Amino acid sequence: MANLVGSYLERDGFEVAITGDGSEAVPLARQVDPDVVVLDLGLPGLDGVEVCRQLRTFSDAYVVMLTARTEEIDTLIGLSVGADDYMTKPFSPRELTARIQAMLRRPRSTTAAAPATAVSPPRRFGDLSLDVNGREVTVAGQSVALTRTEFDILAALARDPGVVLTRAQLIEAVWGPSWVGDEHLVDVHIGHLRRKLGDDAARGRYVRTVRGVGYRMGTGS
């Protein structure tokens, strides 16, 4: 499977490094500094969740998690440690490469800073402060560690707090118009985001659910 996926990616112009053991994956990632990691959940050595957890301590590479198990808990665990997307087996290598191409159209957090004229002050929603330029979020003065995807969703909602964004609109804003897959991926990331912010779906101080439509930014009160 790894060789098949690798051949499709090489055909699309990617340089590919492959390992079949989780314990080898982390040092390999340190060595090659990848832009994208396609990570199987069921690896020997270290499983995909632990590899992703360690990867996130030094890399902002996009991570696509592959799993043969469709239970929701696998998705939740995989995304909670910093994966950007997931696919369940069997899957189409063509769809996987399409998702990766769409991911790479998103700006990475390590890209050059915006020019000084584009700098804007942090936005505040009650106790929550969102610094888009510095990519920093605090709640009641305490820094909150968000994944790139969680931050991008929050920034998209905060851009126009009075506007409700559908899942499709959030997908386009965060993943890009070329992304293909299950739009409920947004709900999973929203759930992680709320937990990290100390928010909940019922109260919705920072991220509010508009039933049957989508999500919008709350006032923080």
- The CATH number of residue 60's host domain is 3.40.50.2300
> Which tops the pLDDT comparison, 85 or 107?
85
In tens, the pLDDT along 112-162 reads: 334 434 567 889 999 999 998 888 999 999 999 888 888 999 999 999 888
Pairing relationship of beta strands 85-88 and 62-67 according to DSSP bridges: parallel
Of 71, 103, 135, the residue that ends a domain is: 103
The CATH number for 193's domain is 1.10.10.10
pLDDT of residue 121: 86
Q: Which of 188, 173, 8 is nearest to 98 (CA)?
A: 8
SS3 category, 78: helix
Same domain, yes or no: 187 and 154: yes
Task: Show the domain range for 89.
Answer: 2-103
d(CA 104, CA 95): 14
Range 9-25 average pLDDT: 92
pTM (2 d.p.): 0.64
Q: Are 66 and 87 in contact (CB under 8 A)?
A: yes
DSSP string covering 140-176:
TTEEE---HHHHHHHHHHHHSTTS-B-HHHHIIIII-
What average pLDDT does this structure show over 174-202? Answer: 82
Question: Same structural domain for residues 130 and 196?
Answer: yes
3-state class of 63 per DSSP? strand
What pLDDT shows up at residue 113?
A: 37
Number of domains in the chain: 2
Domain identity same for 96 and 137: no
Mean pLDDT of all residues in 55-73? 81
Same domain, 160 and 75: no
